[in-house]
Structure 1
Amino acid sequence: MAAGSETNLNNTNAAARQVKVLFFGQLKERLKCDKLTVEIAHPLSIKAFKHMLVEQNPLWQAWLEERDVLCALNQTMSSSDELVKAGDELAFFPPVTGG
């Protein structure tokens, strides 16, 4: 019985280290992904977080690191040096142009 309790505790700990990631607009279409959940061990800057995503998905580099992607951390527009922590929501948007 103790093993079952330990498994539940481990699952709870894993959930506590997760970041919800959302992709919008053309970025969502190009990456073929609208959302994912990423586990992190410690806070990372948005720039480091994007780099980690590219390491896991090398084809995303052109869209996440080589373009002016906008970021919102917990629904607030943020710069690349803001820290992403467990429990946060990070959203990426393609650059918006006006006319």
Structure 2
Amino acid sequence: MIRLLYFASLRDRLGSSGENIDLPEDTGDIATLKAYLARRGGVWKDIFAEDELVLAAVNQEMAQSDTSIKDGDEIGFFPPVTGG
């Protein structure tokens, strides 16, 4: 099982701050997890579409699309942020 956390506008659009899910067997990195979430359809498809920029962190460390994930991980998703 993995813990997914949704931050900022993602939390608002999804109507949830997070969830626990069983890691699908064929999901071994951030890119395949995003594709899995996009297959839920609706707003999930919009947010996690391949051409959308959604940042990820695995166990509170910034992650790339090819960052490996495994059972027990905490994965946070958030929109790009800017400061100023």
Q: TM-score range by the shorter chain?
A: 0.7 to 0.9
TM-score computed with the length of structure 1 as normaliser: 0.75
Corresponding residue pairs, total: 81
Q: Which 4+ stretches in 1 moved above 3 angstroms?
A: none
What letter is aligned with 2:55? Answer: L
Contact 2:38 2:47 in 1 (8 A): no
- Structure 1: 5+ residue stretches without partners: 1-17
More helix by share: 1
TM-score by length of 2: 0.87
RMSD (Å) for aligned C-alpha atoms = 1.4
CA distance in 1, matches of 2:31, 2:72: 18
Of 44, 50, 74 in structure 1, the residue corresponding to residue 28 of structure 2 is 44
Tell which structure's C-alpha radius of gyration is larger.
1
* Residue ranges of structure 2 left out of the alignment (5+ in a row): none
Q: What is the distance in 2 between the residues matched to 1:49 and 1:82?
A: 11
SS at structure 1 position matched to 2:19:
strand
Select between 41-50 and 72-81 the one with higher mean Cα deviation.
Answer: 41-50
Identity %: 36
